[in-house]
Structure 1
Amino acid sequence: MSDALRADALLAEMPREGRGRLKVFLGAAPGVGKTFAMLQAAQAQLRQGVNLRVGVVETHGRAETESMLAGLPQQPLRRLDYRGMAMTEMDLDGLLAQRPKLALVDELAHTNAPGSRHAKRWQDVQELLDTGIDVYTTVNVQHLEALNDQVRDITGVQVRETLPDWVLQEADEILLVDLPPRELLERLREGKVYVPEQARAAIDAFFSQTNLTALRELAMQTAAARVDADLNRRYRQRGQEAPAVRGRLLVGIDGDHQAERLVRHACRVAERRHLPWSVVHVDTGIGRSEEARVQLQGAQQLAERLGGEVVTLRGESVAKALVEHADERRASLLLVGRSRQRLRRHWLGRGLAERLLRQANGLEISVIDTEVDRRPATARARQPVRLLDYGVAMVAAVAATGLAWVVSHTLALPNISLVFLAAVLLVAVRSSLGPALACAALSFLAYDFLFIPPTFSFTIARQEDVLTLLFFLLMAGLTGNLASRQRRQLDALRDTQTETTVLLDLSRKLTAATDRQAVLNVAVQQFSAWTDVEVCLLARGKDGVWKVEAGVQRLLADQERAAAEWSWQHDQPAGLGTDTLPGGRWWWLPLSGEEGPLVLLGVSPRDEAPLPAPRRRLIAALGQPLAQALARAQLAEDLEAARLHGETEQLRSALLASVSHDLRTPLTAMRGSIDSLLALGEAIPLGDRLELLEGTRDEAERLDRYIQNLLDMTRLGHGGLKLARDWVAPVDIVASALQRLRPVLAPLQVETLIPKELPLLYVHAALIEQALVNVLENAARFSPSQGRLRISVEADDVELRFAVSDQGPGIPLEERDKIFDMFYTAARGDRGGQGTGLGLAICQGMVGAHGGRVSVGDGIDGQGTTLTLHLPLHPQPQLEEE
């Protein structure tokens, strides 16, 4: 045995993290003691100190069962009003709020009252399990969906309340509660199951000894199958060979009454043989009635509930498509229903089973005779008769007759038949097989009556003319059938192409969507072409508030909001047309990533009718690329946030390394000057005291600029920089910057080159001024005493430039990109022996926030450096005339 199988078995045995355990008390029929056994086990748990709560228990007035409820804490039932009737149901929300360790939920297959969150009680149980609550529950074997037909055949009663078999298969423990039929009948007669009047009716209708024995056998088989599966898993855990899952079971269905019966039988066979199974429908392009489509969709939905895979194929031949698909999926068993014996099937290729036997190679074929049914056979769904098509067939036959009569004087008799064949072919291409055959029959009669001697009579005198007519009829039928089949295939291909085109169009649009809002806009644009539905995209923020991010902005009713909430929490469709809160107008489909839903896609048909299955499948197909695009956009946002966080952490580390030296230097100088003044006082000459005070002031201003730079850089790193733009003149920015740096620029020869006519800038004036101040201070620090410093302003149609040139040592080409890095410490870099190294980094951040940039060039007369601030220009405002 492979290590992978053994590992899978061990993993399957481990408790699922965060999910409760399910224990099912299984019985063959009501009255065997399932509820009593469940309450007995609950009493034992209560004595051990387990926190449990009774969700719902149906005692049916049995005194012994009611006595077992004593001492068990119970959750009050929820009351519902439906059409004037007061009804009670289990309070699911109350149990979830209490969060007991164990909940008791009787009658797992029960159908909830309208207005409940879920249609079935087993769905309530699944929600309890998902939140980590253990559940004890009861169920009778006749409620299993896969056994529904067998139970009906045994008892003659159609059980309406069913649950999918996978619910039972996923149970952590199954306890068979058994009672011999004789004892159960005795309990019935004594009134311990039903009241006496009901007991007599029950014995006559359902609880006969024969029925109970058969149901008891089904219950034992179900429990035995579970024991067998557990035993195989144990073997695999020990690393020993177990019955291996080999091949796959395929069941072919059509839109008829036997489809659901085939699905249930396939589920049972697959469970016994431990085979994965698929339900396959081959679409040959033949139009179907609404009844046939409903039956087919019902069978496919039943297969999904039972845990099977649903596959739809398109092809000309059903047998060929099934065999090819079986080869692709390495299937070992193909299950089909017996074809109805019709003469045309005997003459034209026999039934499906016979064709499968001829084409299959090494594939086991099982044919189920579903015609033997106690119910009256449902007539095969007939296609709606389109009188217009038959009218066209009649017109085509008359037109062909007229044309043949005109050319009969110049063409031989065999060539005249081609005129009628052309008419049959045209009718087949335009409509379907029925009108084509009608045209062939009319053409046959016209050909015989008008052109076969003796004319104007249906009598055929010559023997060879009989063969001519028969061959004409045969060829007309074959060509009509061939043309009709080609048309059906063309329609099927057209439908497939339409779906593929929609998906490709959506994928093409999504490639250009770079963020979440763009993806949502693409989704709304895609669905806006469907005029019969309304679409909205709903998401829940971190504060728990629902927000319509795109699509129809409409207030949701309480039930619709509850459906959206449940769909978001459980990552499953809910609402209209589902089993969960179906009373609203919206169908909710979660578009999910790896960590859960990203957004809810809500679809509301304008006619308030549930969406048909093909439309739901198409929407679900479109939802997959949408979810992937949303996940990609979310990932891009997370990466950008991580990048910013990394840069912020880098800034924080660099600040800690730099602040101890760069900020301590001015503080040390200030403290020394102040200590000298305090210690010596007036002993210091007046000129020296003034010099000390001026030095202290200069160091304080220097320290203030450092702190301001640190604050600005922190705002840039955290995204807290907000642009309060306004129109400002460039000359005002230059004048204000020079005024602030007047003491720093005093030892230099400052030149300003500013044209009289300059466009206005639409910027945050204080930030641009600070950026210019940083550049000027950087230039002053590197300029020699009495050196030249030039400020020039230029503008064109695109941008405006502030250029600051000095006569300092200059910056080598290989280091010009580094001067904008934070805390750059090269000898010729931004710091120049003092400063935090943040000035130019802040300058670049402030200018970049306005969509501009900073460039580096040579200084005055090729000496020093020129730093240029490039700022984009906006359309100039219209000045009001006085």
Structure 2
Amino acid sequence: MSDTRRADALLADMPQGGRGRLKVFLGAAPGVGKTYAMLQAAQAQLRQGVDLRAGVVETHGRAETEAMLAGLPQQPLRRFDYRGMALTEMDLDGILAQPPKLVLVDELAHTNAPGSRHAKRWQDVEELLDAGVDVYTTVNVQHLEALNDQVHDITGVQVRETLPDWVLQEADEILLIDLPPRELLERLREGKVYVPEQARAAIDAFFSQTNLTALRELAMQTAAARVDADLNRRYRQRGLEAPAVRGRLLVGIDGDHQAERLVRHASRVAERRHLPWSVVYVDTGGARSEEVRSRLQGAQQLAERLGGEVVTLRGESVAKGLVQHAAERRASLLLVGRSRQRLRRRLLGRGLAERLLRLGEGLEVSVLDTEVDRRPPSPRATHHTRLLDYGLAVVAAITASLVAWAVAHTLELPNISLVFLAAVLLVAVRSSLGPALLCAGLSFIAYDFLFIPPTFSLTIARQEDVLTLLFFLLMAGLTGNLASRQRRQLDALRDTQSETTALLDLSRKLTAATDRQAVLNVAVQQFETWRDVEVCLLSRGRDGVWKVEAGAQRLLADQERAAAEWSWQHDQPAGLGTDTLPGGRWWWLPLSGEEGPLVLLGVSPRDEAPLPVGRRRLIAALGQPLAQALARAQLAEELEAARLHGETEQLRSALLASVSHDLRTPLTAMRGSIDSLLSLGEAIPMDDRRELLEGTRDEAERLDRYIQNLLDMTRLGHGGLKLARDWVAPVDIVASALQRLRPVLAPLQVETGVPEQLPLLYVHAALIEQALVNVLENAARFSPSGGRLRVAVEADEAELRFSVADQGPGIPPDERERIFDMFYTAARGDRGGQGTGLGLAICQGMVGAHGGRVTVGEGLDHRGATLTLHLPLHPQPQLEEE
């Protein structure tokens, strides 16, 4: 055995980080001393200084048990008012508010009162374990789900409170509390288990010598199976080869009354053989009543609780579907129930088991005999539907007889049979095989009675007519069977196509969704086609407040909000149809990424009935691409934020570096002029004084422009750039920028070239306007007085361009790629001379934040320069008609 596998075994034996340990006191029946043993162990832990608390302990009035409970810290029970009755349950929230090291939870299989967070107490225990709290608990062997049928066969009592076997399998320690049946019966008679009246009833109904012996054996087998598993793990820790798990167990079920019994038997077989197992249902497209669907759904849910995989196949033949799936999954064992032996199957040997044995070469096939517990088959509604189908067969046969009688004088005898064959085909396509065979039989009799000589008699005079009738009956049966099979296949293909179409349609819509809100809108549109449900999408902010992002805007009741909260925290479905807070109207499914839920999908059936397993599976399948799309949108937003943050940091660094020099220059000049005026005063000639004041004013205006760049930089970078995008017309941006710079542009000849029909921009209008203002101001500062300045706007399918051309000194070609660098200043050009060197850098940052760019080209009349702002175009919005 490799060191890696040995290390894995050692790690598996260690307690999981952050999860508590579970110790189970297992007994064969009530009264064997499980609770007493648990309290005894808790007293020993208390003496060792362990912080523990009794969450819920059922003493049933037993004096010795109550005495053992004395001295243990107890958590007050939570009280419920249900239909006028006062009920008490363990206060899970109270324990989690100040969690101790160890909690005592009696009766693990107990069903909680309506209104509790979880339907079962074992789910409360799971939440305690997840919170890192150790748990001592008790359970009787008859409460294990996989043993439910076996306990019923032994005792004749159907145990209603059960728990999945995997809860016991994941326990860190199981302690078998055993008491011989004679001693337990003696305790019952002495009133140490129940009060005398209840004790006599219990002995008569459940606590017989035979029943207790059988239950004791089941408890020992369960404990022995756990010991065997622990032993195998110990061997692996020592470096020895553990028994290999090979193959898989497949159990084929149908919607009959024995489906759940078969699932429980499969769970026990899989546990004994250490095999993974799957429950497989092959849908052949046949009609199913509501009761059959309900039984099938119950069996599938039971399989999920017991740890099995649920698979639904669609095909023409059950046997072929099971064998093919077994080959695909490399299964070694196939378990089925014994089918009801119809006459034709007995004669031809074509039962499901016989076909599996014939097709499943190399596959172990086990058949569970379920004939001993037959129950009445179909409800009246199903009988009513079948009667209508058989009525259709009778009407079709009569109609075919009338049509054939009408054309008998014009058609030859062999051609008349085609009329009856058409009727058989019609019935087979509209109903199923049984009505089709009935129609074939009636048509056979009518054909003989009305058209085969001697007519109006079932007597056949000629031998060749006997062969004709037999061939007619054979052809009618074959065509009816073929048409019925084709109809079932067509129904199965329709179901598969509808699911595939839903997934493809959703994927196609999601490819066009670029942000989170678009993905949520696509999800709502997808589910709006389902008229029988309401859908909403919830998200929870950092402050814990729930927000309906899309779908039905409804106020959630406290129970609905609690189910949503639990589903979000545990990343598991909750609510209607689940075992966690099932009393509400909504079923909550978290759509999760790698770091947890991204949004909560809520589905509420309008009839307030739980969603079928097939519908929930389809919603879960649709939820996967939705979750991926949400994760993709979130990643895109994070990348965009990172890119903007990088550009912001560059601009901020440029600004801080420029403050030490470029802002100092105008301040120095202003200070020199003011000092001259103060020191010399009236001695300065009036013209010189005016010149000093005008210079001070110019330097103040220059400083004002630098401060404006500082404010623009703050808008870009303080706390990261956040674009408040909206749809805006390009002509409005141009008009506003020219209006702001009217005094600056007054000495120039400003020309505009703005077409009337231009697409809208989806931008932060103020930032783009400021970028255009920076370019216009830059061009005006270096244009000669009276020179031309042209502002033009043009667009194509991909982008829209703002162009500003001047007649200034221009920018040399070798410097055009450098003018947007921080603090680059040339001896001439738009960036030459004075300035911080930030105007075009800020402009580049504003445009780049929108995914655009700035380019430089030749100016007007081969003079000056042209700066062009390139902005991407988005799909235009749909404008409402007035």
**Superposition TM-score, scaled by structure 2 size:** 0.88
Q: Give 1:187's aligned residue.
A: 187
Q: Which moved more, 1:722-731 or 1:590-599?
A: 722-731
Q: Secondary structure at the match of 2:741?
A: helix
CA gap of 1:168–1:824, structure 2 versus 1, over 3 A, is farther
Aligned positions of 1:314-353 closer than 5 A: 314-353=314-353
Q: Which moved more, 1:446-455 or 1:243-252?
A: 446-455
CA distance in 2, matches of 1:448, 1:284: 35
Q: Give 1:753's aligned residue.
A: 750
Query: Which digits, 9 at most, give the CA deviation of each residue in 1:648-672, with x for residues without a partner?
Result: 3344444455544444555666677
Q: Give 1:712's aligned residue.
A: 712
CA gap of 1:768–1:739, structure 2 versus 1, over 3 A, is farther
Q: Give 1:807's aligned residue.
A: 808
**Shift, 1:396, TM fit:** 2.8
Could you tell me whether the CA contact under 8 Å between 1:118 and 1:581 is conserved in 2?
Answer: yes
Q: Secondary structure at the match of 1:479?
A: helix
Q: Secondary structure at the match of 2:69?
A: coil
CA distance in 1, matches of 2:838, 2:476: 91
CA distance in 1, matches of 2:538, 2:699: 57
Counterpart residue type for residue 367 of structure 1: V
CA gap of 1:729–1:160, structure 2 versus 1, over 3 A, is closer
* Correspondent of 1:379 among 364, 377, 380: 377
**Shift, 1:50, TM fit:** 2.8
CA gap of 1:410–1:204, structure 2 versus 1, over 3 A, is same
Q: Give 1:746's aligned residue.
A: none
CA distance in 2, matches of 1:764, 1:447: 84
Q: Does 1:230 align with 2:192?
A: no
Counterpart residue type for residue 177 of structure 1: I
CA distance in 2, matches of 1:348, 1:313: 26
CA gap of 1:694–1:10, structure 2 versus 1, over 3 A, is farther
Q: Give 1:540's aligned residue.
A: 540
CA distance in 2, matches of 1:714, 1:597: 35
Query: Which digits, 9 at most, give the CA deviation of each residue in 1:615-666, with x for residues without a partner?
Result: 2222222222222222221221222222222333344444455544444555
Q: Which moved more, 1:285-294 or 1:711-720?
A: 711-720
Q: Give 1:481's aligned residue.
A: 481
CA distance in 2, matches of 1:259, 1:190: 42
Query: Which digits, 9 at most, give the CA deviation of each residue in 1:288-336, with x for residues without a partner?
Result: 1222111111111100000000111111211111111110000000111
Could you tell me whether the CA contact under 8 Å between 2:281 and 2:312 is conserved in 1?
Answer: yes
Could you tell me whether the CA contact under 8 Å between 2:27 and 2:178 is conserved in 1?
Answer: yes
Q: Give 1:150's aligned residue.
A: 150
Could you tell me whether the CA contact under 8 Å between 1:19 and 1:130 is conserved in 2?
Answer: yes
CA distance in 2, matches of 1:296, 1:269: 21
Q: Secondary structure at the match of 1:335?
A: strand
Could you tell me whether the CA contact under 8 Å between 1:79 and 1:86 is conserved in 2?
Answer: yes
Q: Give 1:159's aligned residue.
A: 159
Query: Which digits, 9 at most, give the CA deviation of each residue in 1:30-89, with x for residues without a partner?
Result: 122222222222223333333322211111112222222223222111111111111111
CA distance in 2, matches of 1:667, 1:621: 68
Could you tell me whether the CA contact under 8 Å between 1:830 and 1:840 is conserved in 2?
Answer: no
**Shift, 1:567, TM fit:** 1.7
CA distance in 1, matches of 2:765, 2:297: 67
Q: Give 2:880's aligned residue.
A: none
**Shift, 1:810, TM fit:** 1.6
CA distance in 1, matches of 2:273, 2:605: 43
Could you tell me whether the CA contact under 8 Å between 1:24 and 1:175 is conserved in 2?
Answer: yes
Q: Which moved more, 1:751-760 or 1:432-441?
A: 751-760
**Runs of 5+ unmatched residues, structure 1:** 743-749, 876-882
CA distance in 2, matches of 1:54, 1:208: 33
Could you tell me whether the CA contact under 8 Å between 2:779 and 2:830 is conserved in 1?
Answer: no
**Shift, 1:729, TM fit:** 10
Q: Give 2:369's aligned residue.
A: 369
CA distance in 2, matches of 1:828, 1:15: 74
Counterpart residue type for residue 752 of structure 1: Q
**Shift, 1:492, TM fit:** 1.5
Counterpart residue type for residue 705 of structure 2: R
Aligned positions of 1:196-595 closer than 5 A: 196-373=196-373, 377-379=375-377, 384-405=384-405, 408=408, 413-595=413-595
CA gap of 1:530–1:730, structure 2 versus 1, over 3 A, is closer
Q: Give 2:621's aligned residue.
A: 621
Counterpart residue type for residue 281 of structure 2: H
CA gap of 1:645–1:420, structure 2 versus 1, over 3 A, is same
CA distance in 1, matches of 2:504, 2:764: 45
Could you tell me whether the CA contact under 8 Å between 2:651 and 2:842 is conserved in 1?
Answer: no
Query: Which digits, 9 at most, give the CA deviation of each residue in 1:815-854, with x for residues without a partner?
Result: 5354335444677787547643320132345578899975
CA distance in 1, matches of 2:594, 2:110: 34
Could you tell me whether the CA contact under 8 Å between 1:568 and 1:597 is conserved in 2?
Answer: yes
Aligned positions of 1:48-63 closer than 5 A: 48-63=48-63
Q: Give 1:139's aligned residue.
A: 139
Aligned positions of 1:597-636 closer than 5 A: 597-636=597-636
Q: Which moved more, 1:821-830 or 1:724-733?
A: 724-733
CA gap of 1:830–1:68, structure 2 versus 1, over 3 A, is farther
Could you tell me whether the CA contact under 8 Å between 1:444 and 1:473 is conserved in 2?
Answer: yes
RMSD across aligned C-alpha pairs, in angstroms? 3.7
**Superposition TM-score, scaled by structure 1 size:** 0.88
CA distance in 1, matches of 2:251, 2:652: 65
CA distance in 2, matches of 1:311, 1:472: 41
CA distance in 1, matches of 2:636, 2:769: 34
Could you tell me whether the CA contact under 8 Å between 2:754 and 2:794 is conserved in 1?
Answer: no
CA gap of 1:537–1:677, structure 2 versus 1, over 3 A, is same
Q: Which moved more, 1:460-469 or 1:244-253?
A: 460-469
CA distance in 1, matches of 2:289, 2:745: 88
Q: Which moved more, 1:861-870 or 1:832-841?
A: 861-870
CA gap of 1:252–1:553, structure 2 versus 1, over 3 A, is same
CA gap of 1:55–1:465, structure 2 versus 1, over 3 A, is same
Q: Give 1:880's aligned residue.
A: none
CA distance in 2, matches of 1:657, 1:663: 10
Report percent identity of matched pairs: 83
Could you tell me whether the CA contact under 8 Å between 1:287 and 1:383 is conserved in 2?
Answer: no
Could you tell me whether the CA contact under 8 Å between 1:394 and 1:442 is conserved in 2?
Answer: yes
Counterpart residue type for residue 252 of structure 1: G
CA gap of 1:43–1:729, structure 2 versus 1, over 3 A, is closer
**Shift, 1:599, TM fit:** 1.6
Query: Which digits, 9 at most, give the CA deviation of each residue in 1:427-470, with x for residues without a partner?
Result: 21222222212211211211222233333222234455444434
Aligned positions of 1:787-866 closer than 5 A: 790-793=788-791, 803=804, 805-808=806-809, 810-812=811-813, 815-824=815-824, 831-832=831-832, 835-845=835-845, 855-859=855-859, 861-866=861-866
CA gap of 1:33–1:642, structure 2 versus 1, over 3 A, is farther
Query: Which digits, 9 at most, give the CA deviation of each residue in 1:353-377, with x for residues without a partner?
Result: 111111111111111112234xx54
Counterpart residue type for residue 737 of structure 1: L
**Shift, 1:734, TM fit:** 4.6
Aligned positions of 1:645-724 closer than 5 A: 645-664=645-664, 701-717=701-717, 718-719=720-721
Counterpart residue type for residue 339 of structure 2: S
CA distance in 2, matches of 1:731, 1:512: 34
Q: Which moved more, 1:727-736 or 1:226-235?
A: 727-736
CA distance in 1, matches of 2:764, 2:473: 89
Q: Which moved more, 1:420-429 or 1:731-740?
A: 731-740
Q: Give 1:35's aligned residue.
A: 35
CA distance in 2, matches of 1:583, 1:868: 63
Counterpart residue type for residue 152 of structure 2: R
CA gap of 1:73–1:690, structure 2 versus 1, over 3 A, is farther
Could you tell me whether the CA contact under 8 Å between 2:755 and 2:794 is conserved in 1?
Answer: no
Counterpart residue type for residue 805 of structure 1: D
Query: Which digits, 9 at most, give the CA deviation of each residue in 1:469-508, with x for residues without a partner?
Result: 3443333223222221221111121122122222222222
CA distance in 2, matches of 1:504, 1:642: 33
**Shift, 1:190, TM fit:** 2.6
CA distance in 2, matches of 1:458, 1:722: 90
Q: Secondary structure at the match of 1:819?
A: coil
Q: Does 1:73 align with 2:85?
A: no
**Shift, 1:563, TM fit:** 1.6
Counterpart residue type for residue 15 of structure 1: P
